Structure 1
Amino acid sequence: METAALDYTLDPAQIAQHPLAERDGGRLMVVERGRGVAAHTTVRDLAQWLRAGDVVVVNDAEVMPARLHGRRASGAAIEVLLTEPADDTGTWRCLARRAGRMHDGERLRFAPDLEGVWYGSAEEGPLRTIRLEADGDLDAVLRRRGELPLPPYIRRDAGPSVEDHARYQTVFARVPGAVAAPTAGLHFTPRMLATLAACGVEVVALTLLVGPATFLPLREDGAQHDVPAERYDVPAATATAIAGARARGGRVVAVGTTVVRALESAIARDGALRTGPARTSLVIAPGHRFRAVDAVLTNLHLPRSSLLALVAAFAGVEATLAAYRAASRGGYRFYSYGDAMLIQ
């Protein structure tokens, strides 16, 4: 489908610039697949819309301080976004801004204790390669010198705040390596998790390390959207919990598009989930047949994006666009720090 079919108009004032005072204080729109908006409630009341025996699957990826600001030998500024290690010697795949015509072997300086050597194109699409050299342990230096990679629509002239460092991570983040937060999970609190457990809803985790694919727009002509592969891991315990939910008639509720992509990538022909680490470049668009997921909790996404295409594939294009129009009219807060939608 052409990307124009996934367009909508949004008042920029509705793009959430800061998190709410409480993680679970956001609004929740409940949408019935293929039909449209069913209710308006709050994220805190999510358990009321789930059933005993359901299993909720979250993404436990932790956002790494992946953005580096540096200088070329000429003094020109450059910004590098690390996406994943290419090996265990300090070589990383990355995206770069203001790179211009850089030559293999060109040195970049990020801090007195951190430099890089540019190696140009990587194997996948827009990615480039850089070898980092640190004075001391590289991971420790990156945590000290790197910047939390907030998305560009969250404006921070002075860089991420203390609040961002706390709130642009989920409460279950434990596996570092993502370059963006799995934002549907930002709403969860220990109180919500306890409520779900008390209602007979199990919560389990997988990992999908969000990569640059989340930033890449769909092609305007509707042609195949190719994205760099992302790393994911479905633990055996998570697969067992999902199989148990299926056996007792429960539903699989995916928290965020990253969980949807991981589960839909991992499901085998016989319906079982393949466990362990893997990579996926799956792009889900209208026409996809969902086999692993029964309901989705997700934030409100950018127009013409692969994330919105996934939502439209699950809920139906017309139902999705109607829901987004209702959210816009109703003053919902959009994008990473915004409100949420439960599609079931």
Structure 2
Amino acid sequence: MNTRKVISIFILLVLLSLFTYHNVPRYLKISEQFLLNNDFVAGAVGWELIKTDDGELLVDHGEVGLVEKSPDHSIQFFRAIDMDGPGGQVVLQVTARSKNIMAGPKGWNKGRVILVQYFDGKPQYYLSHLLIALEGTTDWKTYRKVFRLNRATTEIKVILQLSHCTGELYCKDLSLYRVVVNPVYRVVKWLVPGGWLLFIFVLFLPVFKSFVAGSRLAGGVVLLVVAAILFGTMMPGSLKNDLKHDLVREVRAVATAVSAPGPGELKKLVDITKVAHFFLFMVLAFLLLRRLPQGRGWYFVILDLAMLAVGTELAQLFIDGRSALAGDVGIDMAGVFFALVMYQLYPGLNEKGLRAGMGR
């Protein structure tokens, strides 16, 4: 397939991805607003407050503010809702900002908005419950998350809190609805990532064939690297986070065994998934540059890998728990350009040198 056709298909897939993401809602509301007086025009009516003398509740102009002056105390503002049906999903949304929040020693000692499920008369904190956790000073931003309800859940509480931390948390435009997955989105969810997988397969099939013709080992390595990139792309967010946390835990264990970390050093660990993407794209670029076909310029390698980076990132818009970040494309391409620079500095690494051919 010639370059113009490849670029045309790539542009169409980009437009399709962006159009469907912005115009096909993932969820449809199937209930009325659960949070009565969610705009606080009636003050704190319907909500409950737990605080000490060091805490203060501010309600004004459709927003609510929590102020805590002592790191030894907490303030909590919440509403309890009885659930009328088993299981299902609800979406919680809030627009929030923070001011001078000094986080406490525990991970939950921040300005938080959470949704806690209750059954058997007890809060079930092991279930997903965090919407936001803010510290420092942040501007207004809207946060939204879908929570899956346990079939045993009989009550939920939407809680705004400053737990053993000082500062101010402000919230407005709170909403809570029961939702279901949009049937149209169910189709889009498979159609768009499937289109990207097919495009990437067609894009790299000639490359893979040329490698196999020269060296099956090299062809196998190329296949494994591309497969690793695609596996990381299509992995659901929950699985990715579990894998990342396991890897980080191992790295921390090794780092601690080698030398005792100083204050805050463990917090400086680089996101291991970002490092992996940089490394995979660097290796793939090295392999492709090393075996440039006659008449094919190095810039075609850059183009192919740029389309791979953008395509895999846009596909993540439709993977549960994942998101697309322009910065991640930059990390991928940084690996590619690092490989290119190495080949320019050390041309001996390339069996044939970097060619400047003009055809594909």
TM-score, structure 1 as length reference: 0.26
Which is greater in Rg?
2
Higher helix share: 2
TM-score, structure 2 as length reference: 0.25
Q: Which has the higher contact order (CA 8 A, sep 6+)?
A: 1
